[in-house]
């Protein structure tokens, strides 16, 4: 429900902005550059792990609550409505619960990510409507940290955590709306996948992957 409300609100905001936008022309000739900032509302995500104290090992699924993040990026226009960017992304989400062997219990802690990403986008060649739809994707090398400080309402003596650098990729789709000459408001849906590996405690292996969705809103300026 929260995703539907947020996505609807984003669409209405972009539509209203396009209605009052000034001249949307900007320099998108190949080789020209741009930069931008994004803020993210990250929805619930899932993290898979393995408990090696059992035989056979028990698969564990930890769920994350709604969190947030931000990113800064620099990019260049390419031919045929393509563009590419280098993005530095940060995201933080609190943990909510964990499920294992058919049972679920509360889980306190956090998951956070820092990821340099290389992304590419294609913008639909539409004109005269005030809005430019785009799709994109990218790959990166993400630093992941998972910290657990409370299980089933019982606080741990110390936060059990581990971190590692692993492969990540994302897929995006969104809209770009001009707000002045050479500046645009952007809004997009992002699906982010991260590989995770590491020992959270002596016997709890926090390996597998994490997958989260987010709505990213930002401003982009031509250089």
Task: Locate all alpha helices (DSSP H) within the chain, ordered by sequence.
Answer: 2-20
Average pLDDT over residues 75-88: 96
Report whether CATH 2.40.50.100 matches the domain 2-23+32-222: no
| Helix (H/G/I), strand (E/B), else coil: 35 | strand
Beta bridge partners of 91: 69, 113
Judge whether residue 40 has pLDDT over 80: yes
| Tens-place pLDDT, residues 94-111 | 988 888 777 888 888 888
What's the pLDDT at 201? 55
| Tens-place pLDDT, residues 46-64 | 877 776 667 787 777 888 8
Task: Tell me how far the alpha carbon of residue 73 is from its chain's centroid.
Answer: 14
What's the pLDDT at 113? 93
**pTM for the whole structure:** 0.79
Terminal alpha carbon distance of the chain: 39
Contact 122, 135 (CB under 8 A): yes
Average pLDDT over residues 154-182: 88
Report the distance separating Cα 22 and Cα 32, nearest Å.
21
Average pLDDT over residues 128-150: 90
Q: How confident is the model at residue 211 (pLDDT cuts 50, 70, 90)?
A: confident
Q: How confident is the model at residue 11 (pLDDT cuts 50, 70, 90)?
A: low
Judge whether residue 6 has pLDDT over 70: no
């Amino acid at each position: 429900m929260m995703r539907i409300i947020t996505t609807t609100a984003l669409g209405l905001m972009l539509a209203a902005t396009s209605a009052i936008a000034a001249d949307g022309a900007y320099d998108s000739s190949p080789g020209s550059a741009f930069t931008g900032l994004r803020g993210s509302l990250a929805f619930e995500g899932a993290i898979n792990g393995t408990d090696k104290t059992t035989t056979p090992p028990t698969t564990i699924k930890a769920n994350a609550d709604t969190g947030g993040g931000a990113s800064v990026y620099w990019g260049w226009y390419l031919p045929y409505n393509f563009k590419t960017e280098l993005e530095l992304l940060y995201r933080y989400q609190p943990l909510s619960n964990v499920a294992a062997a058919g049972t679920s219990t509360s889980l306190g802690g956090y998951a956070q990510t820092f990821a340099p990403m290389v992304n590419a986008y294609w913008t639909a060649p539409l004109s005269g409507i005030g809005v430019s739809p785009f799709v994109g994707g990218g790959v990166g090398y993400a630093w992941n940290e998972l910290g657990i400080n409370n299980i089933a309402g019982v606080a741990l003596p110390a936060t059990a955590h581990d971190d590692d650098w692993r492969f990540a990729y994302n897929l995006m789709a969104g809209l770009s709306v001009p707000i002045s000459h050479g500046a645009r408001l952007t809004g997009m849906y992002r699906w982010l996948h991260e590989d995770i590996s590491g020992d959270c405690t002596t016997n709890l292996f926090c390996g597998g992957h994490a997958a989260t969705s987010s709505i990213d809103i930002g401003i982009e300026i031509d250089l």
